[in-house]
Chains A and B, each alone.
Chain A
């Protein structure tokens, strides 16, 4: 047995009694008696499992952890449907301004006019970008926005018809959050099969669209990176039967400045500020998932809503038809602020160009890789492109192997095995942030992997080899979960 390397240790193992990494402000008041001050039996006896560390020890530990990560600032991150674009640094600086970072969410409205101004302005800008002027910034993430939007549909139908209807139609290419959000909103989900082109089939939709159906929940561009070109007909079919159209806005990066969902029949949708509008994803969160909708949804918005009055901006809580509140306070303001800064920095032309470049980049990758990898739907795509491992399967190589080998060649892998309707999917979304040089490097890496799949498949099976850890046994981890550290006995 070798001596344990401190670089492999958890913070609990690095702890040493008596070390201190904090300092407290002056104790400028007398101590208050604990007896009588804390009910009997509720005084804590200690925090035995908490570490004791010096500041430099902590800093080195967490700095070390950071070096085991890969972020957008490390390199290209073509994680399809996640829109891993560059996160402008000015936005980070802005979020740290004292007048934003240290403002209490329950400050009286007159003491938070700057924050309210940003929320009000962002709501207006998102309304213009989507053509859907009724906006809530409250949802904390995309799935939370989906749920909020579905609740607004439900409430609108109840208000209109006296009942919410029963079913929601969702294409089989949808992200898993869609059926889950619909279900959490009390709806049954009916999956509808995509047509051979990978798009929504209008005839299948027409058949499924009964008076029991509350609406259609779709993603456009869809998860294959294709624009749903019959969307206007689809929306008409849904509307004629009294249903509503919900759009998952995860792929809005393809459309900003080029087309507006409100113009192609969408009634309500969410946006992901952490995708389309550049707010950093923080290794899994935070997000922000504003909902935008047609004017008819205005009474149902979550409370509170920012409104302009003669005396300035204020939060309006008096909304009797509201679906209610979906989150404490007013949404992820830090993300709202960054998205506002992003849109202000780009302006209308910059917004349009970002969509154009995102689409151009994805099509370029498709064109360069279409001989080496199967492209199940080989036509002009939008902001992302799907490949499969069909050709590589011949050599026993799978999508997972391709993804892991990309890591060795310096790239974050694409989204894999999604959408579910493509076997061994590799979903590549370069975003507009990548220049031609970086795209070419990625393409070369993918071509090299296609070649290696033929000539040296073992190399791919063993990948990654350049990382601190190789592939994990995830099955055992799930079968015998170890979810926290426990001190070894003895």
Chain B
């Protein structure tokens, strides 16, 4: 090969790199591991993490454990899917493209919107991009966001907004855990977007119609964040309630918890948003023989064409996770998703009642009394973090201490119960919290 190239050595190929900065030593990295040794090493590290086989886990807060039918992961391992790049050559990427087209269709149906894009990084960046889109569409630069939106999502919005000169106004929640609509109306005047979560971070089922009404009156766009999409099996879709933009996290649909990523953000919206949407779209197309297929489309919004004038800098998204979510939505389908949602609802309500009953004497209370889906906040625990620590010792991860995000909720834990938490486990949690 060197002879064909006409150089004496591999080192000669690196001559364009100035000698002074060519590395003259081996990198200081651990020595190579064989596959069996690597597997053993990683297995030992995996063993240092708590998972549902070692602990009863009641954590949600934007990342949910649901049952994914076994076929999903087996198909995700079809390497034609996972070892492909972005479908730039549609003739040899019809699998990915059709799956994303089905994804866009399913997400639009799920959210009750006209359209959905091909995915975003995650829910937090989807929400942030949705807010920025609202600014472009309204030519305004202020975003109103409910404090009952996931704290990480709000932090990401703040991070982006700072550099763009967008102002962010946060609006609090009422004692029952729902959005303070009065305060929202005051803050919404002149705003580009009104952002709320459905169900909200506390698990409380907000009424999107209220936020929509406030947004419309102010000439702003309404943005619903959906971080637990299983709830859409039970609840009216935001689009059908007049919401303009939905920013969702679809991890719950067949994507492993995996310590936080990769997950699957997506933006679904009404038609009027189409030309201002960030990210990719797959569209239907016809080939030279008149046959139907799929291509990436509306690319003139995107950075590789529009450069600094693009609607977003996003390039890579969450294609494989969107495929998982597509298979999950198709598997549960028309009947299964409502059944799954109902089971979550029932289990969470059983848990809430059990915790309140067992903990009554110890002063354990339901912090927010508004209707909830599969998460709820329990209060009266003194120090939520200390209670979590105590229960960890008995093999329970009780819920999320809220003090870091809501100093006023120091005595509280956000508890999530899904279909995978067995009644026996829930009873154990209730007893442990009481003691």
Contact = CB atoms under 8 A, between A and B. Distances in A.
Given A21-B330, A47-B337, A263-B23, A349 B32 contact: yes
A264 B318 CA distance: 34
Interface string A52-87: 110100110111111111111110010100101001
Given A79-B85, A359-B13, A333 B310 contact: no
Given A128-B29, A367-B5, A382 B16 contact: yes
Contacts of A66: 75, 78, 80-81, 95
B285 A476 contact: yes
Interface in B11-30: 12-18, 20-23, 26-30
A6 interface: no
Given A52-B334, A142-B315, A327-B124, A42 B205 contact: yes
A22 to B, nearest CB: 4
B210 to A, nearest CB: 10
A50 B334 CA distance: 5
A227 B343 CA distance: 58
Interface in B52-80: 52-53, 55, 57, 59, 61-63, 65, 67, 69, 71, 73, 75, 77-80
A92 B42 CA distance: 12
B79 A58 contact: no
B316 A352 contact: no
A20 B307 CA distance: 46
Contacts of B80: 66-71, 73-74
Contact of A286 (B13, B262, B347): B262
A415 B6 CA distance: 26
Nearest to A478: B297
A111 B49 contact: yes
Contacts of A232: 18, 20-21
Given A180-B310, A352-B27, A380-B16, 16 more contacts: A38-B371, A55-B331, A71-B79, A98-B51, A128-B28, A176-B306, A182-B308, A227-B16, A227-B17, A231-B18, A232-B21, A280-B82, A285-B317, A363-B13, A478-B299, A481-B283
A467 B31 contact: no
A379 B7 CA distance: 11
A363 B91 CA distance: 29
24 contacts: A20-B335, A21-B69, A24-B336, A38-B205, A41-B236, A47-B109, A53-B331, A71-B84, A144-B121, A183-B313, A226-B16, A227-B16, A232-B18, A284-B86, A323-B159, A330-B261, A332-B260, A364-B4, A382-B13, A436-B1, A469-B291, A474-B295, A476-B286, A478-B300
A476 B165 CA distance: 38
- A-B pairs with lowest CB-CB distance, top 10: A99-B46, A282-B320, A347-B32, A329-B260, A105-B260, A284-B319, A286-B262, A114-B48, A324-B159, A71-B83
Contact of B258 (A42, A95, A151, A282): A95
B321 A282 contact: yes
B281 interface: yes
- Among B82, B163, B260, max chain A CB count under 10 A is at B260
Given A103-B51, A264-B18, A334 B256 contact: yes
B350 A30 contact: yes
B303 interface: yes
Given A8-B292, A344-B33, A87 B94 contact: no
Contacts of B237: 44
Given A22-B331, A102-B257, A10 B98 contact: yes
B309 to A, nearest CB: 8
B85 A472 contact: no
A260 B83 contact: no
A344 B388 CA distance: 35
Contacts of A203: none
B242 interface: no
Contacts of B209: 41
Interface in B324-369: 327, 329-340, 342-343, 345-350
Contact of A104 (B65, B318, B330): B65
Nearest to B156: A325
A59 to B, nearest CB: 5
A39 B205 contact: yes
Contact of B281 (A25, A34, A481): A481
B236 A42 contact: yes
Given A151-B163, A470-B91, A472-B90, A29 B347 contact: yes
Interface residues of B, number: 199
B197 interface: no
A285 B295 contact: no
A218 B346 CA distance: 55
B150 interface: yes
A280 B295 CA distance: 22
Contacts of A379: 16
Contact of A50 (B50, B65, B163, B333): B333
Contact of B330 (A11, A111, A125): A11
Nearest to A175: B304
A98 B86 CA distance: 29
B318 A286 contact: yes
B306 to A, nearest CB: 8
B317 A10 contact: no
Contact of B152 (A325, A347, A359): A325
Interface string B209-233: 1000000000000000000000011
Interface string A140-166: 111110110001001000000000000
Given A258-B23, A280-B82, A103 B115 contact: no
Contacts of A324: 155-156, 158-159, 162
Nearest to B329: A50
B159 A483 contact: no
B334 A477 contact: no
A63 B69 CA distance: 15
Given A51-B330, A345-B32, A32 B308 contact: no
Nearest to B94: A68
Interface string B253-282: 000111111110000000000100000111
B59 A104 contact: yes
Interface stretch (A184-192, A239-247, A390-398, A451-459): A184-192
Contacts of A132: none
B316 A285 contact: yes
Given A59-B75, A347-B31, A22 B17 contact: no
Interface in B83-115: 83-96, 98-102, 104-106, 108-110, 115
A390 to B, nearest CB: 22
A482 B274 CA distance: 11
A19 B195 CA distance: 38
Interface string A456-490: 00000000100111111110111001111100000
A140 B46 contact: no
A69 B84 contact: yes
A317 B404 contact: yes
A450 interface: no
A177 B432 CA distance: 51
A46 interface: yes
Contact of A180 (B43, B92, B164, B307): B307
